[in-house]
Amino acid sequence: MKKVLLFLSVVILPSMISLAQTDAACQKKIDSLSNRINYLESNVKNSFNEKLVQVGLTTNLGMNFIIPGQTKLIDKNGVGSCFSIGLAINKTFKNSPTIGISTGIEFDFETNRYKTVDSVYYQYNGSKIIGKGSAADATGTLSLQERNQKSIYVSVPLMMLFRTSMIGDFRYFGKFGIRNSFLIKNTVNDLGIDVTNPTQQIANVENNSFSSPGDMFFYKGSIGLSAGAEWKFISTTSLVAEVGYFYGITPLHLERKESNRTLYTEAAGTRTYFSNKANQNQLLFKISILF
């Protein structure tokens, strides 16, 4: 029995010691690798938190709310729409990474809807709506009932950005500032009664894609607030969702001199020309991918 125990102690014990040493070495390597991974993850997270500039693609879907002017002749006709695509840029400050500026450039495709409250007319030549000074060139007259005003703007938002540090893969933010929009193109789709021939008036006439040069004011400014969340889903790439409300501070339509005004009312054979008046508020839902 003693010989057996002696044999086991001589043969098996060194093997057990060797295995224990191997396990300790493996555990040491595993611990070292784990620390290295944690270090790299920490560096990536800190790098993302300290990133001062983010650039990416953005799109807006929104609703336009018209506030009619004092003419009392033309009113809103439901809610308008807005669709935008463009480039978004966020720039934060080195010493204050939670405060920055949000800007970019966006192309807005907007529709605003109107309806007439009283009898309102305009004259046209081809697909161009003409003013009082060119009335002699008119080839047709429309009694306006409804109008869809379609505009294309290039917009440059300039917003102060306030955001939290990363909470896991998320952070939250708020913005305040102004949205500057510059008119590129404007057309109207009108519905009304063609009264060119007084003895044979034609109802439900559609004048689509008609132009009215000088009708819209070239600049549209609005002050707004927005809030949202940012999700870091791949390395330094983020998906951003936000909602904002913008209050219009400039008129949509230009107050033209009388000879260029196109809309008019008529009483006892006398025409009274006027310019449409309205402001616009917007509710915008924005999705962006930032790098």
Please report, as a single letter, which amino acid is at residue 78. Answer: G
Express each pLDDT in 174-210 by its tens digit.
999 999 999 999 999 999 999 999 889 999 999 999 9
Cα angle, residue 202 at apex, residues 197 and 203 outer, rounded to 5°: 145
Residue 218 in contact with residue 246, Cβ under 8 Å? no
Task: Output the pLDDT for position 40.
Answer: 46
Backbone angles phi, psi at 217, to 5 degrees: -70, 135
Task: Output the pLDDT for position 235.
Answer: 81
Alpha-carbon distance 257 to 52, whole Å?
49
Task: Output the pLDDT for position 42.
Answer: 47
Alpha-carbon distance 242 to 5, whole Å?
76
Residue 243 pLDDT class (50, 70, 90 cuts): very high
Six-digit token string for 51: 């990133």
Alpha-carbon distance 244 to 258, whole Å?
38
Element housing 176 (H / E): strand 170-194
**How high is the mean pLDDT of the chain?**
88
Counting every residue, how long is the chain? 291
Alpha-carbon distance 289 to 291, whole Å?
7
Cα angle, residue 203 at apex, residues 199 and 205 outer, rounded to 5°: 115
Residue 8 pLDDT class (50, 70, 90 cuts): very low
CA distances from 192 to 75, 124, 271 (A): 15, 13, 18
In the block, tokens 């009082």 appear at 132
Residues 109-125 have a mean pLDDT of: 97
In the block, tokens 């620390």 appear at 35
Residue 70 pLDDT class (50, 70, 90 cuts): confident
Alpha-carbon distance 235 to 232, whole Å?
7
Alpha-carbon distance 132 to 258, whole Å?
7
Residue 229 in contact with residue 263, Cβ under 8 Å? no
Paired strand residues for 161: 100, 175
Residue 156 in contact with residue 177, Cβ under 8 Å? no
Q: What percentage of the chain has pLDDT greater than the value 90?
A: 76
Largest CA distance in the chain: 134
* Secondary structure class of 6 (helix, strand, coil): helix
Global confidence as pTM: 0.82
Residue 146 in contact with residue 189, Cβ under 8 Å? no
